[in-house]
Structure 1
Amino acid sequence: MTVALFGTGLLGGAIAQRLLACGEELWVWNRSPERHASLQRLGAHPAATPQEAASQASWLITVLSDGPTTRELLLERIQEGLRGRTVIQMGTIGSAESRDLAEAVSSLGGRYLEAPVLGSKPEALAGSLQLMAGGPEELFEQARPLLLRLSAEPVRLGEVGSAMAAKLALNQLIASLSHAFSLSLHLVQRSGVEVEAFMALLRNSALYAPTFDKKLERELTGDYSNPNFPTAHLRKDLALFEKAAQASGLETMGLEGLLSLLQKATPAGLDPLDYCALHALTAGRTAAAEQP
């Protein structure tokens, strides 16, 4: 099958590499054309415009930064080019945004499947992303051969909106777990407790999550470069979760402080760095300015 992929950033670029390694014919488009170069060397066809890419393929994969950007691409730039084509929307957007997109794509003669993923560049390159889908069951089955290139076990959770809700719920856990661990780590260090002694206790408890060890070295060294998931995206997704949760009647007051803290990442220059740079913000008076 011929695929057109829109958005060749951190995750999108890795997905493109995986599809090429699996032998798919791939057209790529990005707002920054220089990102096409490495993919072109691997066999991708670079498109000058979204319309050109869409015209070459029946399957259109979007991996863009947010809902408004995705909507603008599909409904304002490609528009009628969606007729007879299937959009697999993999970027993390709001559940309501996804449902609105599905309706709009359908009105233009296209089909729509949301397929957000848990995992980043390493998992995408290995084809081991955790992929959750929302949309018609028949469409999910038709897309399965393509989805299996990216995930060993793609799962359909329900209609459009369901997979996005699950994805936002998972990313809320990323933010909350990272925040909780960061505060605990700072406190034990400032109290003179050896980090490894604390970690041994934590690892042997029901409180342990593997992400703690995954991010420990970065937080101890203050090296948040080469991100798998940038801080700006974590903040965006947490805000989307809060909005969805409030629309469902949930009490989200506990998240307001964390969102407020993450707003400080922008002036601190942490937005493009790995999301565990949150550790620099929880440091309080030691300040993000002291981080490398």
Structure 2
Amino acid sequence: MARAFLGMGLLGANFVKAMLDKGEKVQIWNRNPERARALEASGAEVFASAADAVKGADHVHITVKDDAAVNEVLAAAAPGLKPGAIIIDHTTTTVEGARQRTEAWKDKGFTYLHAPVFMGPANAREGSGYMLVSGDQALIEKVQPLLDKMTGKVINLGPEEGKAAGMKLIGNSFLVTFVAGLSDTLSLGKALNISAQDIGSLFDIWNPAQMLPVRLQRMSSGDYSKASWELNMARKDTQIFINTVNENNGSLTVLPAIAATMDKWIEKGFGTSDWTVIAKDAVS
């Protein structure tokens, strides 16, 4: 059973290497042909056009940049698609884009499944990490054995088209804000002459990640009346963070914005509420 893969970025190239390691036949294409040709020595069949690369392939995988790139590449591949071919898109896209493509390719007589991933290049190479799917459950059942070989766990989010795209965006949003918060934490550490290694040692002993489920439940409950940390007190500490970094000519990414949000809720009369009240608008 032939497979095609369109897009030889870090993720796509490592997916292909893993497939080749398993003895699979893989037909590949990339806009920059040099990236594709780099995999010829490993056994990949390289094609000059997307349409040629997908000829005869039962499953066509794609990993590119965004909605526009997916649409452009699939349009270029369309003349070569085998009747009944299944398109499996691992690109991080919008929810609406995933839904539109599901319907559009169905109308053209093909099957499109959005299967974004929480995986880096190393995960793709070794078949670990997570792959998200949603939509047609019969289709997912059909292709899951194929997907299981590509990742550590396939997470089926149910029959709602586009939900996999949404959950992928949720995860990436958390990662972006998490790293930005760590950046500010490191800036504060630098201002206090506390090393990243010492900060890591603190988190080894006191792991704030363990608080995540309880904190999420508290934030989404809508009840902020029983404070474990009053907003007024959290705001006071936040100002200490900001002042300390500023006094040492450091830079901050998110803390000033958080302080402004806290001020808004204090002005509304929530100063003695639990500080997680700053999420009120997001969950109400």
> What TM-score comes out, normalization by structure 1 length?
0.69
Q: Distance in 1 between matches of 2:22 and 2:203?
A: 40
Contact 2:187 2:251 in 1 (8 A): no
Residue in 2 that maps onto 1:184: 185
Q: Distance in 2 between matches of 1:70 and 1:198?
A: 41
CA gap 1:194/1:7 in 2 versus in 1, 3 angstroms: closer
Q: Distance in 1 between matches of 2:99 and 2:70?
A: 13
Q: Extract structure 1 runs of 4+ deviating beyond 6 A.
A: none
Residue in 2 that maps onto 1:140: 140
Give the counterpart letter for 2:116 in structure 1: P
Residue in 1 that maps onto 2:202: 201
Give the counterpart letter for 2:154 in structure 1: P
What are the Cα deviations for residues 108-156 of structure 1, in whole angstroms up to 9, with x where unaligned?
1100111111111111111113111123111111112211221132121
User: What secondary structure is seen at the aligned counterpart in 2 of 1:88?
Assistant: strand
Q: Distance in 2 between matches of 1:8 and 1:115?
A: 17
Count of residues in correspondence between the two structures: 212
Q: Does residue 1:79 correspond to 2:78, yes or no?
A: yes
Q: Does residue 1:125 correspond to 2:125, yes or no?
A: yes
Shift of 1:169: 0.7
Residue in 1 that maps onto 2:93: 93
CA gap 1:283/1:172 in 2 versus in 1, 3 angstroms: farther
Give the counterpart letter for 2:46 in structure 1: P
What are the Cα deviations for residues 170-199 of structure 1, in whole angstroms up to 9, with x where unaligned?
101110000001101111111222433332
Shift of 1:56: 2.5
Contact 2:130 2:154 in 1 (8 A): yes
User: What secondary structure is seen at the aligned counterpart in 2 of 1:284?
Assistant: coil
Q: Distance in 2 between matches of 1:72 and 1:84?
A: 20
Q: Structure 2: where are the runs of 5+ without partners?
A: 211-248, 253-284
* Greater Rg over alpha carbons, structure: 2
User: What secondary structure is seen at the aligned counterpart in 2 of 1:183?
Assistant: helix
Q: Does residue 1:284 correspond to 2:233, yes or no?
A: no
User: What secondary structure is seen at the aligned counterpart in 2 of 1:112?
Assistant: strand
Give the counterpart letter for 1:79 in structure 2: A
In percent, how many aligned pairs have the same letter?
28
Q: Structure 1: where are the runs of 5+ without partners?
A: 210-281, 286-292
Question: How does 1:21-36 map onto structure 2 within 5 Å?
Answer: 21-36=21-36
